[in-house]
């Protein structure tokens, strides 16, 4: 379980409290500048904040800006970076994840030469390969085309099936609504609404949250 209690950060986040049960999927939405990325960075422990964050396992964050994540000289080295196992195991894991993310033909490339969508896939793969208990993703659909979006949604479905706890920030509510158990809407650094996904989805003023929603909840999985 991840628990956030009375979290405040500068004059950006105000008294944020919520819990995320193990194995659940939480979506965080809100306008540009509402504090979503700062919240994930505080949870990850990258920004000094007041209040408490407790997490019973390992917690990983895929940044909104893929370049922040990518540090290796080559795609292959970048993927191996966070792994603590034998060379042979590293090779097996790197090749498996590269195939899953469509990066297998790019392993020798310098990450700076990748396209925006390829970088995004690498940034997510970098974190997914370490198998965290809680995976936080900040706008994972940015820069992706339809097959790319589909592969990220499939990955999220697989993670959920495996019991990984997922926290995702997105403006594209409809792409993952069907996977969501909980929705949190931020507004000017404070929680405006939070709770069961069905309930929040039907009650929220989405246009006020900067989001255009069309269609019914059960249709909202982009596959
Ligand atoms: N290090 C910082 N110093 C000062 N202000 C900051 C800092 N980081 C973020 N902010 C401001 O805090 C507010 C929240 O930023 P944040 O990046 O969390 O928004 P967001 O909800 O992720 O927005 P977006 O949807 O555009 O990604 C913004 O007004 C931003 O300009
Ligand atoms: Mg952001």
Domain 1-58+134-223 belongs to what architecture?
3-Layer(aba) Sandwich (3.40)
The CA-CA-CA angle for residues 78, 71, 85, to 5°, reads 40
Percent helix, strand, coil in the chain, to 5, is: 40, 25, 35
Q: How far apart are CA 151 and CA 148, in angstroms?
A: 5
Q: Which of 8, 10, 12, 138 to mutate for ligand 1's pocket (most ligand atoms within 8 Å of CB)?
A: 12
Domain with CATH 3.40.50.300 in the chain: 1-58+134-223
Residue 170 beta carbon below 6 angstroms from any ligand 1 atom: no
The tens-digit pLDDT sequence of the chain (223 residues) is 899 999 999 999 999 999 999 999 999 999 999 999 999 999 999 999 999 999 989 999 999 998 988 999 999 999 999 898 999 999 999 999 999 888 999 999 999 999 988 998 999 999 999 999 999 999 999 888 888 888 888 888 888 898 999 999 998 888 888 899 999 999 999 999 999 998 998 888 888 888 877 766 666 665 5
Q: Which residue CA neighbors atom 29 of ligand 1 most closely? A: 33
Ligand sitting nearest the alpha carbon of 138 = 2
């Amino acid at each position: 379980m991840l628990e956030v209690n009375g979290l405040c950060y500068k004059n950006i986040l105000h008294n944020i409290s919520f819990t995320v049960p193990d194995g659940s999927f939480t979506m965080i939405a809100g306008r540009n500048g509402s504090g979503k990325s700062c919240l994930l960075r505080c949870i990850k422990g990258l920004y000094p904040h007041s209040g408490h964050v407790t997490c019973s396992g390992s917690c990983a964050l895929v940044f909104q800006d893929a370049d922040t994540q990518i540090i290796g000289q080559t795609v292959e080295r970048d993927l191996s970076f966070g792994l603590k196992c034998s060379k042979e195991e590293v090779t097996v894991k790197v090749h498996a994840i590269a195939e899953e993310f469509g990066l297998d033909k790019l392993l020798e490339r310098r990450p700076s030469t990748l396209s925006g969508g390829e970088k995004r896939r690498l940034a997510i793969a970098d974190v997914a390969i370490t198998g965290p208990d809680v995976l936080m993703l900040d706008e994972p659909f940015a820069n992706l085309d339809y097959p790319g979006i589909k592969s990220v949604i499939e990955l999220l479905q697989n993670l959920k099936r495996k019991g990984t706890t997922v926290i995702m920030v997105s403006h594209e509510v409809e792409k993952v609504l069907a996977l969501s158990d909980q929705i949190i809407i931020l507004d000017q650094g404070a929680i405006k609404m939070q709770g069961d996904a069905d309930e929040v989805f039907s009650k929220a003023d989405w246009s006020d949250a900067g989001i255009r929603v069309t269609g019914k909840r059960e249709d909202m999985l982009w596959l």
